[in-house]
Amino acid sequence: MTCLKRIRLFQFRNFKELDLEFGDGLNAIIGPNAIGKTTLLEAIHFLSIGRSFRTNKLQEIIKKGEENFTIQAFFSKDGVDQTLSIFYDGTNKEIKHNQTSYNSFTPLLGLFPTVIYSPFDIELIHGAPPERRRFINILIAQANPLYVYYLTRYTKALAHRNALLRKKQLSTIEIWEDDLIKSALFIQEKRAEVIQILSLRTKDFYKELSNGAEEVQLHYKPSKISNQIFEKSRERELALGYSLLGPHRDDLDISLNELSAKNYGSEGQKRTIIAALKLAEKEHLGSAILLIDDFGVHLDGTRKAKFEEKIASQNQLFLTSPFQLGGTMPAFFHFLENPPLAPILTRQ
């Protein structure tokens, strides 16, 4: 089990400095809009993967007018107290886990697992394939270090192959293609396994949340590669200057009663699918901490109540809301004020 006990932020987005302690179970972050609630969840999630769920540009996370940011976390994992800090100055990054230092975010994967459920997640249905591939990669990477190795290996080989295609220099291209194929076999095997498990769990959670007759399905759509496929696509790829096939072209199809959820699902159905998908993700990762941004906007009253039932037994979770929470779940309440200061901490 993973439990975040304390976090300190320095020059992270709108926070000059923030120091918070947390409890087990539900931690509710309450405050008006644009006060930093989502930023706090962003910082916690950043500890898991070294990236933001809001932007791909780390420079945007540094507080305006400053030159760097730092996150410090104190947490326990399987009963052992640990520390983790991340520093970034626009160019260099420094990660320190206990007494070990790194200059890459890769060692974070699997160390402090989290699942983020935010309004941005609707893009898993509406967005382009890269959004869904990113979701799959982060999910698997937090549970399987070997997947990270093969994904990194594949990305490196793909970059080399694309460079050779652009230069139309094919003398060494088969070396990189062999590496691509070996890595792709592992990546696509793991994706297929996880999506099959995720599909069953998402289907069950959707039925529990909606009480409906609809059935949600996740269909993995791999882009296969082999030596024969590379030979057949060589001429076209040389003309374009990049690789057309492989795991970087995979997709995930989300359907409702065998129809595209994107094209045929109502907004309520889509949001329920995302809620079910996030519950399935959390169940798959086991000890991961659940982070819920803007609680209450995702679902209608009935489905929200059912969702609350599903999360009530979590060892630790964090949610944000502009309003004081009702319900019967005991919680630590953290009230953020303007300007962002150390909040009042009360127990319901």
Domain CATH number, residue 81: 3.40.50.300
**Contacts by 157-165, CB closer than 8 A, 24 or more apart:** 157/183, 158/243, 158/246, 158/248, 161/243, 162/241, 162/242, 162/243, 165/237, 165/238, 165/240, 165/241, 165/242, 165/243
Bridge pairing between strands 316-321 and 289-292: parallel
Q: What is the pLDDT of residues 149-161, one digit of tens each?
A: 999 999 999 999 9
In terms of domains, do 209 and 273 share one? Answer: yes
Task: Write down which residue in 241, 264, 286 finishes a domain.
Answer: 286
Task: Write down which residue in 286, 310, 334 finishes a domain.
Answer: 286
In terms of domains, do 143 and 255 share one? Answer: yes
In terms of domains, do 69 and 107 share one? Answer: yes
Query: Does the pLDDT value for residue 270 go beyond 80?
Result: yes
In terms of domains, do 304 and 338 share one? Answer: yes
Is 225 inside any structural domain?
yes
Query: Does the pLDDT value for residue 332 go beyond 80?
Result: no
In terms of domains, do 142 and 258 share one? Answer: yes
Q: Which structural domain range is residue 279 located in?
A: 124-286
Query: Does the pLDDT value for residue 338 go beyond 60?
Result: no
Per-residue confidence (pLDDT) for residue 122, from 0 to 100: 95
Is 118 inside any structural domain?
no
In terms of domains, do 280 and 135 share one? Answer: yes
Supply the CATH number for residue 219's domain.
Answer: 1.20.1050.90
∠309-111-116 over CA atoms, to 5°?
A: 40
329 to 163, 294, 347: CA distances (angstroms):
55, 17, 11
Domain count for the chain:
2
In terms of domains, do 298 and 274 share one? Answer: no
Query: Does the pLDDT value for residue 173 go beyond 90?
Result: yes
Is 41 inside any structural domain?
yes
Per-residue confidence (pLDDT) for residue 326, from 0 to 100: 65
In terms of domains, do 278 and 185 share one? Answer: yes
Is 15 inside any structural domain?
yes
In terms of domains, do 272 and 230 share one? Answer: yes
How much is the average pLDDT of 236-246?
97
State the virtual CA torsion across 192, 185, 284, 130 in degrees, nearest 10. -80
Is 197 inside any structural domain?
yes
Q: What is the pLDDT of residues 52-98, one digit of tens each?
A: 999 989 999 999 999 999 999 999 998 999 999 999 999 999 999 99
Query: Does the pLDDT value for residue 329 go beyond 70?
Result: no
In terms of domains, do 163 and 36 share one? Answer: no
The whole-angstrom separation of Cα 257 and Cα 259 is: 5
Is 49 inside any structural domain?
yes
Query: If pLDDT is split at 50, 70 and 90, which confidence band does 330 have?
Result: low
In terms of domains, do 138 and 233 share one? Answer: yes
Helix (H) or strand (E) segment spanning residue 147: helix 145-167
With H, G, I as helix, E, B as strand and everything else as coil, classify residue 33: coil
Is 187 inside any structural domain?
yes
Provide the phi-psi class of 168: left if phi over 0, else alpha when psi is between -120 and 50, else beta: left
Is 119 inside any structural domain?
no
Single pTM value for the model: 0.91
Per-residue confidence (pLDDT) for residue 32, from 0 to 100: 84
Joined together, the tokens standing for residue 202 give 């998402």
Q: Residue 76 pairs with which residues in a beta bridge? A: 3, 81
Per-residue confidence (pLDDT) for residue 331, from 0 to 100: 64
Question: In whole angstroms, what separates CA 2 from the centre of its chain?
Answer: 17
Task: Write down which residue in 267, 286, 305 finishes a domain.
Answer: 286
In terms of domains, do 46 and 179 share one? Answer: no
